[in-house]
Amino acid sequence: MNIDLQGKRALVCGASRGIGRACALALLDRGWHVVLAGRRKVPLEETASMAGERSSYAVPVPADVGDREAVSALFEEMKKRNIPKVSLSVDHRNR
């Protein structure tokens, strides 16, 4: 069975390094649009730039997903950027 997932949207928490970054880059490489969430903006931007020509499909949004208010702000930012829902959520934060 071959399922076309290109163009789907994902939220990857912990996308600034390690396994979270690897997951985000793998999804981007396969045609996904990926919201990159993590506590620090610069490492998220680095993850986006590592995607090369797919970097425009990466949306870095700094957020501490351990904080309820930050999570609400994350979803509000996603709505502002016309990302009302995601098909996949990866939570690999380092805590």
1 has a pLDDT exceeding 60: no
93 has a pLDDT exceeding 70: no
First-last CA distance in the chain: 37
- What pLDDT was estimated at residue 92? 77
Give this prediction's pTM: 0.89
pLDDT, tens digit, for every residue of 43-91?
A: 999 999 999 999 999 999 999 988 999 999 999 999 998 887 898 999 8
